[in-house]
């Protein structure tokens, strides 16, 4: 009786071992893989985030208060054009030439020229500022650095940037609906900002 019970127990243990061993071996392999020392190749998974934080700090120190607030709240910056004849080639009609115009500067998207009075889109200007100093990963600049590079180029030498950029009609890369929606968001943002400034000034005068 005892012998038969022992034999049955051995068979049961053997069957359970056959079933459980593959899962046990897989768990042991995962444990060894986690404990294995990974050689340091210099890659830092937090590098992108820290680079963007530094880029935002630099952008904030360079642009004015309104432009920084605009980028912080809306994700783009408006830069006013200063060429007397307009963003040539870019006036879609003769009546556009010489009219006040501006640019929407997005991170890693073309610069969009437009007429603020009518929200009429003029052109897209494709420019790139790769980060040639990076030893690995994408050569793209952090988002805020890309915006800052475009802002500096437009405010420093608008004519040179426009002449060297690849010019396309609206809609080539930036959806016109998105651009017009962003212009509407900008107008609402400016209206709310102006209202806050008036309330603040009124409160200061009352005090």
Helix (H) or strand (E) holding 25: helix 2-35
What is the distance, to the nearest Å, from the Cα of residue 199 to the centroid of all Cα atoms in its chain?
33
Q: Is residue 76 within 8 Å of residue 182, measured between CB atoms?
A: yes
Residue 129's pLDDT band, with cuts at 50, 70 and 90, is confident
| Residue 96 or residue 170, greater confidence | 170
**Please, which pLDDT band fits residue 100 given cuts at 50, 70 and 90?**
confident
| Coil, helix or strand at residue 100 | coil
Single pTM value for the model: 0.70
Mean pLDDT, rounded, for 21-39: 58
Q: Write out the DSSP string of 169-196.
A: -TTSSS-HHHHHHHHHHHHHHHHHHHHH
Two structure tokens written together for 117: 């009075």
Neighbouring residues of 165: CB distance < 8 A, sequence distance ≥ 6: 111, 125, 126, 127
Contact partners, residue 143, CB within 8 Å, separation at least 6 = 52, 55, 107, 108
Distance (Å, whole) CA 22 – CA 26: 6
pLDDT tens digit sequence for 132-147: 665 554 567 899 999 9
């Amino acid at each position: 009786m005892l012998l038969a019970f022992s034999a049955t127990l051995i068979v049961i243990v053997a069957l359970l071992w056959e079933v459980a061993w593959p899962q046990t071996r897989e768990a042991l392999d995962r444990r060894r893989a986690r404990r294995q020392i990974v050689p340091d190749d210099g890659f830092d998974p937090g590098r992108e985030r820290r680079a963007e934080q530094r880029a935002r700090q630099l952008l904030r120190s360079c642009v004015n208060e309104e432009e920084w607030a605009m980028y912080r709240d809306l994700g783009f910056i408006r830069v006013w054009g200063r060429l007397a004849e307009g963003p040539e080639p870019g006036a879609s009609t003769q009546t556009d030439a010489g009219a006040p115009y501006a640019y929407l500067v997005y991170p890693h998207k073309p610069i969009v020229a437009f007429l603020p009075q009518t929200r009429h889109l003029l052109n897209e200007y494709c420019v790139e500022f790769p980060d040639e100093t990076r030893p690995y990963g994408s050569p793209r600049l952090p988002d805020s650095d890309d915006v800052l590079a475009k802002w500096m180029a437009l405010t420093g030498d608008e004519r040179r940037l426009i002449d060297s950029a690849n010019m396309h009609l609206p809609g080539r890369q930036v959806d016109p609906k998105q651009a017009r929606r962003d212009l509407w968001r900008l107008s609402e943002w400016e209206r709310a900002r102006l209202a806050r400034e008036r309330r603040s000034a009124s409160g200061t005068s009352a005090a």
